[in-house]
Amino acid sequence: MIEQLKALELESLDKLKAIDSLSDLDQWRVEVLGRKGSLALLLRGMGQLPAADRPAVGARANEVKNTLEAAYALAENGIKQQAIGQRLHQDQVDVTLPGRRPGSGRLHLSTQSLQEIGRIFATMGFQVWESPEVELDLFNFELLNIPPYHPARDMQDTFYTTNSDILLRTHTSPGQIRVMRRYAPEPIRVILPGKCYRFEQVTTRSDIQFYQVEGLAVGRHITLADLKGTIANFAIQMFGPGREVRFRYSYFPFTEPSVEADVDCIICGGKGCRLCKYSGWLEIMGAGMVHPTVLRNGGYDPDIYSGFAFGMGPGRISMLQHAIDDIRYILTSDLRFLEQF
């Protein structure tokens, strides 16, 4: 019996060595260790052994069983490892192949800058206000202190409609009058974003349609120094810390004093480069203190109230931010352009 056990052990271990799949392994387990397996069959003969031999045979049989079970566990682990290894090997990919992009949409570049400008001014208490694009001459010019044939009209070549009192607004400033008339005598802090139109030759620097963001603050204690502080805040929020703003005195019919606001060049920081045309400064907006006539037309007494206004082009801002050299891309809505932002 001892010999038979020995032979079974050797034979079974031999078979086990040749097994390389989980199903064969399972079959081996049934055949060898199962309830009707070869070991169980052999041990059924135990009863016929003399009683004195039984303990020794029993001990031996346990040993064999343990050995075979341990061998089984080892083989099972080996086969599983091998199988996983194989699967992992087969799954291997060229990680340099292009990824599958979910096809993200994007906001138009102008919307992105418009929203960013809006968010920045919102932190300073400016709310959004919208006004018509097709405007009365009265609001676009006359109430803004630009009478008919005034030389200031040359600054803004205008699309007129077949009704000569009605035009396409050349700037968002008519919204100043509309918002003042709506809220006078409340204090006002608004930004007025929107499309504007100018009768101009289309060039790399100007298009017949563009966005403008007007800002207007009216109250009892608003000063040119506040305007400078507000624009400095904006420049730092928009272009990053350390930006400086300078004012150049200028002329707009609806502001007095009037200034052009420049920010030190975002590329060279003022040393001079191609972007700033070696001036060290980038013009970002026109601004000034609301002209007393305009305040009065809006329903505010200019002796009591003062206000500032500014106007900038988000197109110009994004051209600066991304070094875009041709404004015409912005309205062609060429996806090859838009998908870059």
Partner 1 sequence: MRVPVSWLKEYVNLTLTPDELAYRLTMSGLEVEKIEHTGADWERDKLVVGEIVETKPHPNADRLTIALVNDGSSAEPKLCITGAPNIKPGMQHVKVPFARLGATIVDGHTDDGSTFVIKPAKLRGIASEGVLCSEKELGISADHSGIMLLDPRAPVGMPLVDWLGDTVLEIAILPNIARALSVTGVAREVAALTGEKLRYPQLTGEGTGPAIAGQIHVDKIHVEIADPDLCARYSAAIIRHVTIGPSPLWMQRRLTLAGMRPINNIVDITNYVMLELGQPLHAFDYDRLPLEQGRKQIVVRRARPGEQMRTLDGQLRTFTPDMLLITAGETPVAIGGIMGGEDTEVHGGTRTILLEAANFDFINNRRAAQLLRLPSEAAGRFGRGVDPELTIPALQRAGEFMRLYAGGAVDQGFADAYPGRKPPLTIPLTAREVQRLLGMDLSQAEIAALLRSLDFQVAEQGEVLLVTVPSFRLDVTIAADLVEEVGRVIGSDRLPATQLADELPPPHRDLLWEHEQAVKEILVGCGLQEIITYSMTTPEAEAKVYLDTPEAAGHSPAYIRLANPISSERTAMRRTLLNSMMENLALNLRYRQRITIFEVARVYLPEGGSGDGLPAEPARLGIALTGPRIPHDWSQGTAEAPPLDFFDLKGIVETLLTDRLHIQGVAFRSASHPSMHPGRCAELLIQDQVAGVLGEVHPLVAERYDIPGRVCLAEIRLDQVLPQVQTMHLYHTISRFPAVTQDIAVIVDDETAAAAVEQVIRETGSSLLRHVQLFDIYRGEQIPSGKKSLAYTLEFQADDRTLTEDEVATLRHQIVQTLAERLGASLRA
Comparing CB distances to partner 1, the nearer of 44 and 221 is 221
- For partner 1, the binding residues in 282-301 under the rule CB under 8 A are 289, 291-292
Using CB under 8 A as the binding rule, whether residue 197 contacts partner 1 is answered as yes
**Closest distance to partner 1 from the beta carbon of 84 (Å):** 24
CA distance 116 to 286: 19
Among 59, 203, 229, 274, binds partner 1 (CB under 8 A): 229
In the complex with partner 1, the residue whose CB is nearer, 29 or 243, is 243
Residue 101 binds to partner 1 (criterion: CB under 8 A): yes
Strand arrangement, sheet containing 209-219: 127-128, 188-197, 209-219, 306-312, 281-290, 255-264, 245-252
Q: How far is the CB of 13 from partner 1 (least distance, A)?
A: 47
Residues in region 310-329 near partner 1 by CB under 8 A: none
Q: How far is the CB of 79 from partner 1 (least distance, A)?
A: 32
Residue 162 Cβ vs partner 1, minimum distance, rounded to whole Å = 5
Q: Which residues of 14-33 are buried (b: 16+ CB within 10 A; e: fewer)?
A: eebeebeeeeebeebbeebb
x/- map, 156-195, partner 1, by CB under 8 A: ---xxxxxxxx-x--------------x--xxxx-----x
Distance CA 135, CA 165 (A): 9
Q: Which residue among 256, 268, 269, 296 contacts partner 1 (CB under 8 A)?
A: 256
Phi, psi of 99 (to 5 degrees): -75, 160
Q: How does DSSP assign 40-105, residue by residue?
A: HHHHGGGGGS-TTTHHHHHHHHHHHHHHHHHHHHHHHHHHHHHHHHHHHHHH---TTSPP------
Chain positions 132 to 151 lying near partner 1, rule: CB under 8 A, are 132-136, 147-151
Tokens coding 257: 């004093």
Beta pairing partners, 166: 136
Does residue 336 bind partner 1 (CB under 8 A)? yes
Looking at the Cβ atoms of 60 and 182, the one nearer to partner 1 is 182
Stretch that binds partner 1, among 20-28, 54-62, 81-89, 217-225 (CB under 8 A): 217-225
Pair 341, 106: CB distance under 8 Å: yes
Give the binding range for partner 1 (CB under 8 A) out of 25-33, 53-61, 77-85, 250-258. Answer: 250-258
103 binds partner 1 (CB under 8 A): yes
Residue 241 found at the interface with partner 1 (CB under 8 A): no
Q: From residue 290, how far is each of 59, 109, 284, 332 by CA, in Å?
A: 107, 30, 18, 35
How many residues touch partner 1 (CB under 8 A)? 95
Is 242 a binding residue for partner 1 by CB under 8 A? The answer is: no
Parallel/antiparallel/unpaired status of strands 127-128 and 188-197: parallel
The residues, ordered by sequence, that sit 6+ positions from 186 with a Cβ below 8 Å of its Cβ are none
Bridge partners of residue 261, in order along the sequence: 247, 285
Return the number of the residue (44 or 101) whose C-beta is nearest partner 1: 101
Distance CA 26, CA 32 (A): 10
Q: What is the DSSP letter of 308?
A: E
CB of 127 to partner 1, least distance (A): 6
Q: Measured on CA atoms in the order 318, 324, 330, 333, is the torsion positive or negative?
A: negative
Q: Which of 221, 240, 241, 242 lies at the binding interface for partner 1 (CB under 8 A)? A: 221
Q: Is 209 in the site for partner 1 (CB under 8 A)?
A: yes
Mask: binding to partner 1, 40-79, rule CB under 8 A, as x and -? ----------------------------------------
